[in-house]
Structure 1
Amino acid sequence: MGYTVRQVIKVMEEIAPSYLAEEWDNVGLLVGGLEDEVRKVMVCLDVTEDIVYEAVRKGANMLISHHPVIFEKLRSLRSDVGRERLVYLLARNGIAAYCAHTNLDKVSGGVDDVLAARLGLQDVKPLSVDQRERLYKIVVFIPKGHEDRVMDAMAGAGAGWIGNYSHCTFQINGTGTFMPLEGTNPYIGQQGRLERVEEVRLETIVSANRLDRVIKAMLEVHPYEEVAYDVYPLANRIEKHGLGRIGKLQHSMLLKEFVDKVCNDLGVSNVQVAGWRDTEIQTVAICGGAGGSLISKAYSSGAQVFLTGELKYHEAQAAAELGMVVIAVGHYPTEVFIVQELVYRLQKAFDALKYEIEVFAAETMSDIYKKVGR
C-alpha cells in the first residue's frame, strides 16, 4: 500500500498545528506535492546540502525540518546558488520538504517543552501565551446501549480531553424520531413507518486539529446508517500555546552551579552570560532559538534568569540593565533535541495507524558555528 505526503502532514498537524505559526513564518509543505509517495521520512533541524544528499543515499522521500528551507522570497530556481540550490536538489530528487517552525516552538510538547524537560524544570508554563487553541463542541445522538462504545471511540481519537482528564462528556436521555424511506437499510425500524427511539445525546469538546479524526472514529462505530450529529465552534479557548516557558528548578542553586548544569544538560562546553552576579537561581525562563523578544516577559514573570539560544548585543545589555541574568547557549543546542522527539512521536503515530513508513533522524546535522582558537 502506498502512503502519501498528505497522510504524513495530517499526522504532523496533530503534533504541531500549522495555525499556531507566527504570521511572518513560512511553515507547511514547501517542496513537493500532497499526493507524492512516502516510504521513509528523515527529520532534521535545518535543510542543508549534506542533509539532502543523506536523504538521497538513504532513500528518504520526505524531509521534516524545524527551520524552513524556503523563508525569504525566491526569485529564481538555480542549481548553483545557495538556498535556491537546496530547493532545486530536493525537487530534482523527488524529496518533499515540510517545515514546522514557530508552531512547533509554541505547541505543548514542542521545542520549548523539550528544552525545559532537558533542564529539569518543574511546574512549566508558557512564558508568553499569544495563541489559543481553537475548540469545537460535537454533539451526537446515539441509540441507548451504544453510548459507551461511541464515547470510547471519540475519546480514543482525542475528544473529551480537559487538562489531565479524559472521556469528559455530558449525556442526557431523550426520544429520537425518524422515518426510514425507500432505499434505506435502517438499524432500527421499518421503511415507511415513523419510529420513536430512546436515544442518548452525547456532547463533548474537541480541538480543531483532532476534529476530523474524532468524527471519523464516531461514524465508524455508530450503529445508525445515517448519523445525526452537530459541530459547534466555541468562543472559550484553552490558553496553552505560546513562545517560551517558565518553570522552577527542583532546588535553588547559585548562578555558577546553574551554568555548569546548563553546559552538562545541553552538551556544550561554554555559554555567554550577561548580568552575571552572585545570586541564587530558582525560577527560570527559557526560549529555544532566538528569544530576545521575551526578555521583558521573563523579567515581569519573576524569573531570576532567562536562557535562550542567541541574543543581540543590545538585547543582552537591556536585560542586564533590568537586573535580569541572561544566558545565550547557542541556537543549535537549544533546539536540536526536538529532532529525536519528533522521530519518536511520528513513528509511534504511524505504527498506531499501521502506516509502513520508516522515520529516522538525520546523522549529518551539525551546528553552523564551530569553536576555533585558543
Structure 2
Amino acid sequence: MYAKGQTVIQYMEQLAPKYLAVPDDKIGLQLGTLQKEIKHVLITLDVTEAVVDEAIACQADLIIAHHAIIFRPLAQLQTDTPAGKLYEKLIKHDIAVYISHTNLDVAEGGINNWMAEALGIEASDSLEDVHTDELYKLAVFVPKSHHEQVLHATLQAGAGWIGNYSHCSFNVEGFGTFVPQEGTTPFIGKQGQLERVEEVRMETIVPSSIRAKVIQAMLKAHPYEEVAYDLYAMDLKGRTLGLGRTGRLTEPVTLREFVTRVKNGLDVPNVRVVGDLERPIRKAAVLGGSGGRYWKKAQFRGADVLVTGDIDFHTAQDALAAGITLIDPGHHAEKIMKKKVAEWMKSKLQENRYDTEVHVFSADTEPFQFM
C-alpha cells in the first residue's frame, strides 16, 4: 500500500510545522497535486534540471525540497525560459513539488539542530526567536472510573509539560450532577432523572501548537456523550523556537581546529574564515543559509564564532572589528537536510507500513566551483 500525497506531507509537517515559518516565506505545495498515491519521494536541497531528471529516472511522484522554485507570483508561464522549461517538465511527468524552508530551519530537530550536532555544539538557545507557544489550561470533568484512561490519553498526546517536567496535572475529586434529556444516550443514568456521579476535575497544560490534537485525544478517551471541559488562555508562555542555534562546545578548541570540524561535519571542501586562527572557541553559533546579519545576536549570546553562509565583505569587516570570528561554509552547507529528512520520512512510512520509497538526490547542486 502506498501513502497518499497528503499523508506524506502530514509526516513532513510533523517534523517542520508550517506555522514555524517566518512571514511571507514561500513554503508548502508549489506545483502539482497531492491528491494521488506517492510511490516514490525524492528529497533534495534545490530543484534544478538535474534534480528533475533524477526524479523522472526514479519515477518520483513528489519532490520535497528546502529551497523554493517559485519565489514571486508568476505573471506568465513561458516554456522557452529556464524556469518555464523546469515547470513544464515537472507538470508533464506529474511530479509535485513541496517546499519546507524556514519552518525546517526553526523546527526543533531541524536543520539548525542538525548542523549544531554535526559541529559538536550543545545547542540551547536560538539566535532570533520566531515562534512562542501560547499556553492553555485544560480542565476536564471525568467519571472516577475512567479518570486514569482519560488522563493517560491526554498526557500521551503532549499535554502536561512545564519546562523540563512532563506529565504534569492536578486532580480533584468531587460530584457532578446532570439530567439526561429526551434524545440522549447517557453513559451513566437515565433520561429525566437527576444523576449524581463521582467525578475527577483533571487539569493540565496544553500548548497552542498541539491544542487540537490533545482535545481530540481527550474526547476519544472520554466515555461521556457530552464532555464538560474548559480551556483557559494563560499569561505564561511556552516553548520558544527560532532561527539559528547557540551552545557550548564539549571542550574548547582553537578556531583553526574548529574550522576543520566545520569542513568535516558539514562536508564542505573549503570555508572562508574571519579572525585569529589560534583564538580559543568555547561557545559557538550556527545558522543555516544566509545569516551574516545575525553576527551581533551571536555575539550578544556570548558566542566566540558564528558559522553561517553568504557573509559579505562589510559584514566580515564589522565582525572582525567587534571581536567575533566568522566561518562561512557556504549556503549549500544546508545539504545536511537531505539525509536527515529522508531518514525521518522513511521511519514514518515504515512505521505505518507504507510501501512508498524515499530517495535522496545524490549529486551536488552547489552553483559555485572552487578553483
Secondary structure of the corresponding residue to residue 302 of structure 1:
coil
Give 1:230 deviation, angstroms.
3.1
Q: Note closer, same or farther for the CA distance 1:247–1:81 as it changes in structure 2 (3 Å cut).
A: same
Give the C-alpha shift of residue 359 in structure 1. Answer: 5.0
Which contiguous aligned blocks of 4+ residues in structure 1 show a shift greater than 6 angstroms?
A: none
What does 1:32-181 align with in structure 2 at a 5 Å threshold?
Answer: 32-33=32-33, 35-181=35-181
Q: Partner residue of 2:366?
A: 368
Residue 216 of structure 2 aligns with which residue? 216
Q: Which residue does the alignment assign to 1:26?
A: 26
In the other structure, the counterpart of 2:336 is 337
Instruction: Show CA shifts across 1:22-58 (max 9, x none).
Output: 1131112222345344343332211222222322333
Q: What is residue 345 of structure 2 aligned with on the other side?
A: 346
Question: Relative to 1, partners in 2 of residues 1:306 and 1:2: Cα closer, same or farther, differing over 3 Å?
Answer: closer
Q: How many residues align?
A: 371
Q: Which amino acid aligns with 1:343?
A: A
Structure 2 unaligned regions, length at least 5: none
Q: Offset at 1:277?
A: 4.6
Tell me what 2:226 maps to: 226
Q: What CA distance in whole angstroms lies between the structure 2 residues aligned with 1:59 and 1:140? A: 50
Contact 1:40 / 1:60 at 8 angstroms: preserved in 2? yes
Distance 2:342 2:84 in 1: 27
Aligned counterparts of 2:291 and 2:238: Cα–Cα separation in 1: 24
Post-superposition offset of 1:186: 1.8
User: 1:149/1:283 Cα in 2 relative to 1: closer, same or farther (>3 Å)?
Assistant: same
C-alpha separation between the residues in 1 aligned to 2:10 and 2:113?
A: 22
Give the letter aligned to residue 31 of structure 1: L
User: Aligned partners of 1:110 and 1:116: how far apart in 2?
Assistant: 10
> 1:236 is paired with a residue of what secondary structure?
strand
In 1, the alpha carbon distance for the partners of 2:208 and 2:33 equals: 24
Partner of 2:193: 193
**C-alpha separation in 1, matches of 2:35 and 2:226:** 30
TM-score (norm 1): 0.90
In structure 2, the CA distance between the partners of 1:91 and 1:179, relative to structure 1 (3 Å rule), is farther
Distance of 1:7 and 1:134 partners within structure 2 = 27
User: Are the aligned partners of 1:79 and 1:89 in contact in 2 as well (CA < 8 Å)?
Assistant: no
Distance 1:216 1:57 in 2: 42
Quick one: structure 1 residues 359 and 217, their matched pair in 2 at CA, closer, same or farther if it must change by over 3 Å? farther
Q: 1:173 to 1:8 in 2, by over 3 A?
A: farther
Contact 1:129 1:239 in 2 (8 A): no
Partner SS for 1:282:
strand
What SS does the aligned partner of 1:177 have? strand
Stretch of structure 1 that moved more, 362-371 or 183-192: 362-371
Evaluate the alpha carbon distance shift between residue 17 and residue 367 of structure 1 in structure 2; reply closer, same or farther with a 3 A threshold.
Answer: same
Change over 3 Å in CA distance of 1:220–1:262 after alignment to 2: same
User: 1:152 Cα deviation (Å)?
Assistant: 1.8
Query: How big is the shift at 1:86?
Result: 2.9
Cross-structure match for 1:274 = 274
Secondary structure of 2:211's aligned partner: helix
**Residues 87 and 204 of structure 1: CA distance in aligned 2, closer, same or farther (over 3 Å):** farther
Q: Cα gap change, 1:231/1:65 in structure 2, threshold over 3 Å: closer, same or farther?
A: farther
* Alpha-carbon offset, residue 201 of structure 1: 1.8
CA distance 1:152–1:175, shift in 2 (3 Å): same
Instruction: In structure 1, list runs of 5 or more residues that go unmatched.
Output: none
**Distance in 2 between residues matched to 1:356 and 1:276, nearest whole Å:** 52
Question: TM-score with structure 2 length normalisation?
Answer: 0.91
Please list, as runs of the form range in 1=range in 2, the aligned pairs for 1:256-335 lying within 5 A after superposition.
256-333=256-333, 335=334
Q: After superposition, give the CA deviation of every residue in 1:38-92 in whole Å (9 maximum; x if it has no partner).
A: 3433322112222223223333322221111211232222333223333333333
Tell me the amino acid that sits aligned with residue 46 of structure 1: D
- Contact 1:42/1:60, CA 8 A, preserved across alignment: yes
Question: One-letter code of the match for 1:199?
Answer: E
Of 238-247 and 224-233, more deviation after overlay is shown by 224-233
Partner Cα distance (1:183, 1:71) in 2: 55
Shift of 1:138: 2.9
Question: What's the CA shift for 1:155?
Answer: 2.3
Residues 147-175 of structure 1: per-residue CA shift (max 9 Å, x gap) = 22222222222222334332222222222
Q: State which drifts further: 290-299 or 363-372.
A: 363-372
